[in-house]
Amino acid sequence: MFIDQSFSLEKLPEFSTFITAVLNENDELRVKSSDFTEAPMAEIHSFRKKQYLERRLDYLCELSTEEKGCEYCIDERSQHFWIEHNSEIVGSMQATPYPFELIGLGEYFSDLADAYQKHIEFGRFVIQAESKHRILTRKLLASAFIYATQQYLGVIAACRTPQKRLFERFGLHAINQIPIILPERQNGAYWMLEGNCDDMCHAILKRDTVQKTELILT
C-alpha cells in the first residue's frame, strides 16, 4: 500500500483555515490537549466511566487488575484531548502510537495493525450524551487530526457501526469487509478503519465544499 509521506498542512492553506475555524467555533467549548503527565486523568477517567455506564457499556468499566494495568500503560503513552464547559469535561479522546490499544481486541485486529505501525490510533472517543454532539465531535477530531499530521502517516481506529459512520465522514475507511463480532463486548460488531493524512484532508475539504453550513459532520 502506497502512502504519501510528503503530506503537510502547509500544502493546503485552505485546510488550515478550515481547521482553525472549527477549533474557534463556540468560544465556550475549548479543546485542550496534553500528554499523560499534564492531562487531568482522574477527571477524564471519571467522565469516561459515567458515559459508559449511561450507555450500558458496563464491560468497559468492569476491568480486571491486568486490564486496568494495560489501560494505564495505554494512557501513559497517549496524547489526550478533552473539551471543558463551565470547568466540566464534556468530551474526550486519546491518540496512541503503536502498539495500539485495539491490539487487545484479538489476533485479527493485532495482525491488521502490524501494517500500520507508522499511524496513530484514535481511541476512547466519548462525548456527553446530552451535549451539542456535532460541535464536540468536530472540535475533538480536528484537534486530534492536527496532532496526527505532525509526525504520523495516518490514523487507525477500531469501533462499532455508529462510530464507523462518523469516522468515515472524516476520511477513514473500513479495512475489514464484514464486522468482527466480539462476544466479550456484548457481541458487538467491530470495524477497523484506516486513513492516511492526505486522503483524510481531501475528504474533509470535499465534504465542506458540498455542505458549507455543516462544516464536517452532520
Apex CA 204: angle with CA 202 and CA 206, to 5°?
65
Average pLDDT of the residues in 201-207: 74
User: What 8-state DSSP symbol labels residue 55?
Assistant: T
Q: Is the pLDDT of residue 25 over 60?
A: yes
Q: Is the pLDDT of residue 11 over 60?
A: no
d(CA 158, CA 95): 12
Q: Among the listed ranges 2-16, 82-96, 102-116, 158-172, which one has the minimum average pLDDT value?
A: 2-16
Read off the C-alpha cell for 92. Answer: 474526550
Look at 208 and 3; give whichever has higher pLDDT.
208
pLDDT tens for 92-150 read 999 999 999 988 888 888 888 899 999 999 999 999 877 656 788 888 988 898 899 88
Cβ-proximal residues to 18 (8 Å cutoff; 6+ apart), any chain: 204, 205, 208, 215
d(CA 116, CA 200): 16
d(CA 151, CA 154): 9
Average pLDDT of the residues in 176-183: 90
- What the chain holds in terms of domains, given with CATH numbers, is 9-211 (3.40.630.30)
Specify the pLDDT at position 100. 93
Specify the pLDDT at position 29. 85
pTM for the whole structure: 0.83
pLDDT tens for 28-38 read 788 899 999 99
User: What residue spans of 2-132 are helical by DSSP H?
Assistant: 13-24, 41-54, 65-77, 107-113
Read off the C-alpha cell for 37. Answer: 503527565
Phi then psi dihedrals of residue 120, to 5 deg? -125, 145
Specify the pLDDT at position 15. 64
10 Å Cβ neighbour count for 33?
Answer: 17
